[in-house]
Amino acid sequence: MSIPQRRPQTLAQKLIGRASGRSHVAPGEIVSSKVDLAMFHDSSGPRRLKPMLEELGAQIWDKDRIVLVMDHYVPEQDDDSRKIVRIARDWAAEQKLPHVYDSIGICHVVLPQKGH
């Protein structure tokens, strides 16, 4: 009788597996996992997230685990970029988000620089 062997996992698989309480995950699987940090930026953030939360009747689960970085549309070059950044700034203030970084760098760099 042979023991089934599992294929090696990528770092992403290992992280998702750990967050979902499983020893192994495979591509294509749908898992529920514990989120330790959620980062979004001015482009993908409030203008898309806010309507989804409202539609679901949901709120941010833990404001301390949310990081908003404004880096894609700053400095504002036109009316569209001004509107996008204004939505992000207003929503961050409305939500009282403690980790908001406005115009200080690229989101993927700002997170580790700020200890997230």
Domain housing 60: 38-114
Express each pLDDT in 62-100 by its tens digit: 999 999 999 999 999 999 999 999 999 999 999 999 999
Domains in the chain, number: 1
Residue 105 pLDDT > 60? yes
Cα within 13 Å of Cα(97), Cβ side: 25
Helix (H, G, I), strand (E, B) or coil at 111: helix
Whether residue 76 is contained in a domain is answered as: yes
Whether residue 87 is contained in a domain is answered as: yes
Whether residue 96 is contained in a domain is answered as: yes
Place of tokens 């036109």: 78
pLDDT at 11: 95
Express each pLDDT in 34-58 by its tens digit: 989 999 999 888 899 889 999 999 9
